[in-house]
Structure 1
Amino acid sequence: MKKTLASLLGVAALCLTAQAGAKVPAAEAAKLGAELTPVGAEKAGNADKTIPEWTPRPRTGALKGEWPNDPDVDAQKPLFTITKANMAQYSAKLTEGHKKLLSSYDSYKLNVYPSVRKIDWPKEIQDATKANATTCELVNTEILNNCKLGFPFPIPKSGAEPIWNHKLKWRGESVTRYNNQMIVQPNGQFQLTKIVEDVTFGYASLKNPTELKPGQGEFLKYLSKTVAPPRLAGTFILVHEKMGTGAEGRAAWLYSPGLKRIRRAPTVCCDNPYEGTDGHQFYDQVDMFNGALERYNWKLVGKKEMYIPYNSNKIAGKGTKYKDLAKPKHLNQDLPRYELHRVWVVEADIKPGTSHTFKKRRFYVDEDGWTIAAVDDYDNRDQLYQFQEGHIINASNLLAATTVPEVIYHFTSGRYFITAAWNEDKPIDATASFNADYFSAASVQKMTTK
């Protein structure tokens, strides 16, 4: 009997796993564009009207030189402020990271503004998302099948699906962006690293989208060049991002000025420190999360109302200097804007037999933008070890959403790390165009000799 029961439980587990990555029926997909937005968010606001109905903003602005802005939003004043003194009143809608910061520092606060839901996407992305709903499948955490152009899982059924939505979202055809980074000491002093990144998107390309299916899984190419400080200048990281793991997954190369050659770099992965960050950012923390999901079991906890950084035009704008951002112990909290939004909560627990600095991660994914807004990171003692915070902007010139800047708080050292800041350089250039061989090791080697 015990053997029979165990066998039945095993079959049930397999069935649940299979269902977790299943496409949805046509009747459920029909909700997209009706009670759901075209990409899967609830179109209506909440019952007490603290979250409004989705009212998308039309495309505005040029594809180059456009700082995030919305005159109506930017003119608003905070509704209230959450501090250590009153945080218990709002505790149910706060991440564990925000609670930790509020309880640790009297100077930390969250200025909460009216919630605004204007994020929209190109019609091609909307149409492809609806098609994906009934065709796209998650074979396992690393392999997708029959997915093209749009969000693969607008009506998610398993924990890995919102993460793939984040990874595959539309961000333009090809872009160049400045990624300025700061390691901020407890006294507020910081070291600035300047990086220029070029990216071309194969999957989310309106012109020539790559369909994802077994054996055909490359969805973006990435090249970064460090330009400052002098000790790091001239470092290149090249990545071909693919579905799968091992030889089938990510391919990466690193050029070090000291070695004067480009070499394969399998360590551009997981919880290895990103080059030049002095251990303050792991490779899989870039863009809040990227890379393989294989080390974790993923659970879709459900949807919840949370206070998250949103419509962060001020903190991402050219009027804010880096010395304005970096303050002792935490970010200058006069700058961020927080709003109440519905998020998908996803938990990732380390698989037995695998390893990672983070035993558990809890992700908060915005329903409108499929953008990871925050991550609670726990160590192997089940203690909150780090907290990641992404300040969401509505890039209406692209009809997309992204995070500028991103912050990683290190609770054991008292330091924090700011990344993806562009304030003193230029915003994303979505007019960028690259030759077919630009993202190759040979091309990078030639760049270093110029």
Structure 2
Amino acid sequence: MMMHKKLIGAGAVALTLMSASIMAAVSPEEAARLNKDLTPMGAERGASADGTIPEWTGGLRKEYAPFLEDGSLENPFADEQPLFTITAQNYEQYADKLSEGQIAMFKRFPETYTMPIYPTHRTSTVPGEVLKQTFENATTVETVDGGNGLKNYSNIGSTPFPLPQTGVEAVWNHIVRYRGGSVKRTIVQITPNNNGSFTPVKFEDEFTFSNKVSDYSGDVGNLLFYFKQRVVEPARLAGNVLLVHETIDQVKQPRMAWVYNAGQRRVRRAPQVAYDGPGTATDGLRTADNYDMYNGSPDRYNWELVGKKDMYIPYNNYDLYSKEHKYADIAKAGHIDPKFTRYELHRVWEVVGTLREDARHIYAKRVMFLDEDTWQASVIDHFDGRGQLWRVAQSYNMQYYPIDTPWYAAETLNDLLSGRYLLLGLQNEESNGYQFGFDVSSKQYTPAALRREGRR
């Protein structure tokens, strides 16, 4: 594939394998680009040469429109029609702007899988304070211990490396990206059978960055965020709760996780909730670190920053998010119904993670494509130990414009071998889908609190 070698930062030399324990932050002169030819997040501010990708002019900000009465969002682009549709019959014309996994989807489902391509809109933005913190990070934040941890990173939720010089820096940008500080959401997870039938699993999730709890001490230490997930449906799983204290350097201090089993009425440590441990109620279709496209410690892979390219990725998926659609409308055999999806041409960073020789994981290689405006992983291709393409993940990006927060309507993980897939994050049929910026104390994220909550 043709690659744009428009590499930001210290240049191509900086992209060679770097084994030093500490990677230096960029110079003030380099950081100044964030107020000039680059956006505050490190993306290219200008339009593409042919104008297909427009200039970034600040994103779709909160002034556009409030949340609707049911908590959902108006579709800013409801009147637009696809420019064209990529199918199994014509994908070769667009192969240079597709991932290997996207191409494989056309081959695996030639009669039903399509990608409707719409005009590109650079809607992403984050609050001004986060942009200010990101600018400060550029000259102060460093990776330590070979990329396993971060130094001088106290502004949790801001982008640590807006001008990445290595692959692991770009991966960290995804892991710690801004997500509204704290959020509660009621969502479903669906794993359709090959005939399209499914039983949704409903979750109540809570996510809070460590510096957003009400009793924040002023020092995050090695703690990145708190995560809690309660199963609401089906009845056989209802009441089970997962609690996670996500650490930054997980080699130095592994992720701390506990589960409350409603049947046993007991809280147990859950060390399997990491790396390639099985995901909750997923029929073996995802690993623990597949959640949120990719999460956890980057230590098991060598990460190469390949460069940037123009690529068709899911973007501005307000129709997929709409409460006008039912889960059964969206979740079909093999893949979600393409008519509810929206793809646009955007610039992405390509990062390749290759499993270290001394590490184990069911994925021997991950090829990530990170949206330049959000650092959200938009497409990830997963390869097994034989080097065979196995699974394809896609996040259906959208901007929560009333609160200047990039997110996604759903994420999917398609297993090319079995023909099945996992769909996570839909809230179309829920009356209380998302709640951002809620107040919570760190005391509510303890094993003792988990036990009390489970018994209520």
Indicate the TM-score class for this superposition, using the shorter chain for normalisation: over 0.9
Amino acid at match of 2:55: E
Within 1, Cα distance between the matches of 2:213 and 2:455?
32
| Structure 1 match to 2:139 | 134
The one-letter amino acid paired with 2:88 is: K
Aligned to 2:9: none
**What SS class does the counterpart of residue 50 from structure 1 fall into?**
coil
Partners of 1:348 and 1:78 lie apart in 2 by 33
Residues 251, 299 of structure 2: 8 Å contact kept: no
Match of 1:158 in 2: 166
The answer to which of 310-319 and 56-65 deviates more is 56-65
User: Where do residues 213-228 of structure 1 align in structure 2 (5 Å cutoff)?
Assistant: 216-228=221-233
The residue aligned with 2:257 is 252
Residue 107 of structure 2 corresponds to 103
Q: Is the 8 A contact 1:203 1:218 kept in 2?
A: no
Preserved contact between residue 427 and residue 433 of structure 2 (Cα < 8 Å): yes
Deviation by residue 1:293-318 (Cα, 9 ceiling, x = unmatched): 11111111111110000000000121
Q: 1:184 aligns with which of 180, 192, 198?
A: 192
Counterpart-to-counterpart distance in 1, 2:20 and 2:192: 45
SS at match of 1:221: strand
- 2:218 and 2:130 map into 1 onto residues whose CA distance is 13
TM-score, with structure 1 as normaliser: 0.92
Secondary structure of the corresponding residue to residue 124 of structure 1: helix
2:80 aligns to what?
A: 76
Q: Which amino acid aligns with 2:78?
A: D
What one-letter code is carried by the residue in structure 2 that aligns with 1:359? A
TM norm structure 2: 0.91
Q: Describe how 1:193-342 pairs up with structure 2 within 5 A.
A: 193-203=201-211, 216-246=221-251, 248-342=253-347
For residue 148 of structure 1, report the CA deviation from its aligned partner: 3.1
**1:170 Cα deviation from its structure 2 partner:** 1.7
Whole-Å separation in 1 of the counterparts to 2:69 and 2:176: 22
CA contact (8 A) 2:302 2:355 kept: yes
> Relative to structure 1, is the Cα distance of residues 52 and 431 closer, same or farther in structure 2, using a 3 angstrom cutoff?
same
Structure 1 regions of 5+ residues with no counterpart?
Answer: 1-11
Equivalenced residues, count: 435
Answering whether residue 420 of structure 2 is matched by residue 441 of structure 1, we say no
1:209, distance to aligned residue in structure 2 (A): 9.3
Shift, 1:17, TM fit: 2.9
SS of 1:448's equivalent in the other structure is helix
Q: 2:20: which partner in 1? A: 18
Deviation at 1:174, TM superposition (A): 1.9
Q: Is 161-170 or 175-184 further displaced after alignment?
A: 161-170
1:289 Cα deviation after fit: 0.6
Partner of 1:94: 98
Q: CA deviation at 1:373?
A: 0.5
Cα deviation code 1:42-92 (max 9, x no counterpart): 010100111001122221425995423343x22211000001111110001
Aligned counterparts of 2:391 and 2:15: Cα–Cα separation in 1: 32
Q: In the alignment, is the contact (CA less than 8 A) between 1:176 and 1:199 conserved in 2? A: yes
Q: Residue 321 of structure 1 aligns to which amino acid in structure 2?
A: K
By how many angstroms is 1:206 displaced? 12
Q: Measured at CA, do residues 95 and 39 of structure 1 come closer, stay the same or move farther in structure 2, by a change above 3 Å?
A: same
Structure 1 residues 64, 130: closer, same or farther in 2, change over 3 A?
farther
Contact 1:185–1:415, Cα closer than 8 Å, also in 2: yes
Q: Which residue of 2 aligns with 1:175?
A: 183
Residues 436/322 of structure 1: CA separation in 2 closer, same or farther (3 Å cut): same
Distance 1:334 1:69 in 2: 18
Is residue 30 of structure 1 aligned with residue 32 of structure 2? Answer: yes
Distance in 1 between residues matched to 2:131 and 2:402, nearest whole Å? 17
Distance 1:118 1:170, change over 3 A: same
SS in 2 for 1:232: coil
In structure 2, relative to structure 1, the CA distance for the partners of 1:211 and 1:390 (3 Å cut) is farther
Paired residues of 1:64 and 1:429 also in contact (CA < 8 A): no
One-letter identity of the residue aligned with 1:313: Y
Q: Match of 2:153, SS?
A: coil
> What is the DSSP-based 3-state SS (H/G/I as helix, E as strand, rest coil) of the residue aligned with 1:32?
helix
**CA deviation string 1:269-291 (max 9, x = no partner):** 01111122221121101110101
Aligned to 2:433: 427
User: Aligned equivalents of 1:13 and 1:117: distance in 2?
Assistant: 27
Report if aligned partners of 1:20, 1:158 keep a CA contact under 8 Å in 2.
no
Which residue identity lines up with residue 396 of structure 1 in the other structure?
Answer: Y
AA of the residue aligned to 1:75:
D
Residue aligning to 2:154: 148
Per-residue CA distance 1:387-441 (angstroms, 9 max, x = gap): 1010001111221211221001011111111001111113310142223310110
* Unpaired stretches in structure 2, ≥5 consecutive residues: 1-13
In 2 relative to 1, CA 206–147 (structure 1 residues): closer, same or farther, beyond 3 Å? farther
Q: C-alpha distance in 1, partners of 2:214/2:449?
A: 26
Structure 1 residues 301 and 348: alpha-carbon distance in aligned structure 2, compared to 1, 3 A threshold: same
Quote the residue 2:4 is aligned against: none
CA contact (8 A) 1:169 1:204 kept: no
**Aligned equivalents of 2:297 and 2:39: distance in 1?**
28
CA gap of 1:361–1:209, structure 2 versus 1, over 3 A, is farther
Cα shift at 1:247: 6.3
